[in-house]
């Protein structure tokens, strides 16, 4: 049923726990949990993110092998990673992040604290391409996300680089 | 053979005492992987760009191919 399909956890509301067990109980399953997009290709070469792009390159080759059944599981990101890996800061109760993610990208997020309680809370938001105007100067002063109550997210819109 | 995937000779002997079979496998030598995977039911495979950024893709592809050729029934790539 799931052969060759992408099982996107978090963004497919009908995807229940049963679907996951069904997928993982199949005899032939190749399921890269780290199914990640090729950001180098997505950004037309502007950004090289080996952690993503290498996985995408491997997945491409796995697709050529004729496994009887393959499932590609896309998990939501731990949104705490936004704080750890991208320039981010707080303004009041809003978390402000800057990330090189283009246009109308939709992203599923998982709160690591909810994961502990086996509950997924998903945050969707639209990101604009940001290259310069992030408030990185406040980055180091921000307390850890885990200690904060965040009620909303904001994206600072930056100027696109002119080639 | 001094080390098996970061596993010492002493550790190897310890594992063998438990009845486990320990085989050598080298990502840089795909033929060793096919041999190592023979008879295995499953493979859990994890690659990162942090240790070997240049070789990650080749290693991952070779390991997946070796698993396929060796008839591994269930591969999880994380």
Q: What is the pLDDT of residues A110-143, one digit of tens each?
A: 666 665 544 433 333 333 333 333 333 333 333 3
Domain boundary among A75, A101, A136: A75
Q: Between these two residues, B33 and A23, which has the higher pLDDT value?
A: B33
Query: CB distance A54–B76 less than 8 Å?
Result: no
Do A64 and A23 lie in one domain? The reply is yes
User: Is A155 exposed, middle or buried, given 0-12, 13-18 or 19+ CB atoms closer than 10 A?
Assistant: middle
Confirm if A122 and A73 have CB atoms less than 8 A apart: no
B78/A33 touch (CB, cutoff 8 Å), yes or no? yes
Are A145 and A120 in the same domain? Answer: yes
Question: Last residue of some domain: A75, A103, A129?
Answer: A75
Residues of A in contact with B58 (CB under 8 A): none
pLDDT the model gives residue A148: 45
Phi–psi pair at A50, nearest 5 degrees: -55, -35
Which positions in chain B touch A28 (Cβ < 8 Å)? Answer: 73-74
**Could you tell me the pTM of the whole model?**
0.59
Q: How far apart, in whole angstroms, are the C-alpha atoms of residue A24 and residue B8?
A: 33
Q: Do residue A123 and residue A133 come from a single domain? A: yes
CATH of the domain at B69: 3.40.50.720
The token pair that represents B24 in the structure block: 């050598």
> Considering CB atoms only, which of A54, A65, A66 is closest to B57?
A54
The answer to whether the CB atoms of B75 and A67 lie below 8 A apart is yes
> Are A43 and A102 a contacting pair, CB within 8 Å?
yes
Number of domains chain A contains: 2
pLDDT above 90 covers a percentage of chain A that reads 0
In a shared domain, residues A101 and A65? no
Over the stretch A140-153, which tens digit does the pLDDT of each residue have?
A: 333 344 344 455 55
Do residue A16 and residue A70 come from a single domain? yes
The ipTM of this complex is 0.81
Distances (CA, A) of B72 to A118, A124, B2, B37, B69: 32, 38, 27, 7, 8
Same domain, A152 and A83: yes
* Closest in B46, B53, B64 to A65, CB measured: B64
Do A102 and A155 belong to one domain? yes
Range of B53's domain? Answer: 3-77
């Amino acid at each position: 049923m799931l052969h060759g399909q992408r099982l996107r956890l978090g963004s497919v509301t009908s995807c229940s726990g049963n679907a996951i067990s069904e997928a993982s109980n199949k005899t032939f399953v190749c399921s890269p949990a780290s199914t990640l997009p090729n950001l180098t290709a997505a950004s037309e070469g502007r950004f090289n993110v080996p952690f993503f792009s290498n996985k995408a390159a491997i997945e491409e080759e796995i697709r050529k092998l004729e496994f009887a059944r393959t499932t590609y599981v896309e998990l939501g990101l731990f949104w705490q990673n936004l704080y750890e890996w991208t320039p981010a800061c707080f303004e009041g109760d809003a978390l402000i992040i800057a990330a090189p993610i283009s246009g109308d990208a939709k992203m599923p997020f998982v709160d690591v604290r909810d994961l502990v309680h086996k509950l997924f809370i998903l945050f969707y938001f639209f990101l604009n391409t940001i290259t310069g105007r992030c408030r990185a100067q406040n980055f180091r002063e921000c307390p850890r996300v885990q200690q904060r109550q965040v009620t909303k997210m904001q994206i600072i819109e930056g100027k696109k680089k002119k080639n | 053979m001094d080390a098996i995937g970061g596993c010492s000779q002493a550790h190897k002997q310890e594992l063998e005492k438990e009845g486990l079979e320990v085989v050598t496998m080298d990502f840089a030598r795909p033929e060793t992987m096919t041999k190592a995977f023979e008879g295995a039911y499953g493979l859990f495979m994890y690659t990162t760009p942090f240790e070997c950024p240049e070789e990650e893709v080749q290693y991952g592809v070779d390991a997946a191919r070796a698993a396929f050729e060796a008839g591994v029934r269930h591969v999880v790539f994380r």
